[in-house]
Amino acid sequence: MKNSDVVYAWANNRIANTQNLRTDGSNLYSYALKIGYTDGHKKVAIDHTSGGGSFYSSTTSRHVSLAKQKSDVVEKP
**pLDDT tens figures, 23-42:** 999 999 999 999 999 998 89
Euclidean distance between CA atoms 41 and 33, whole angstroms: 22
Query: Percent of the chain at pLDDT above 70?
Result: 100
The residue extents of the domains of the chain are 3-75
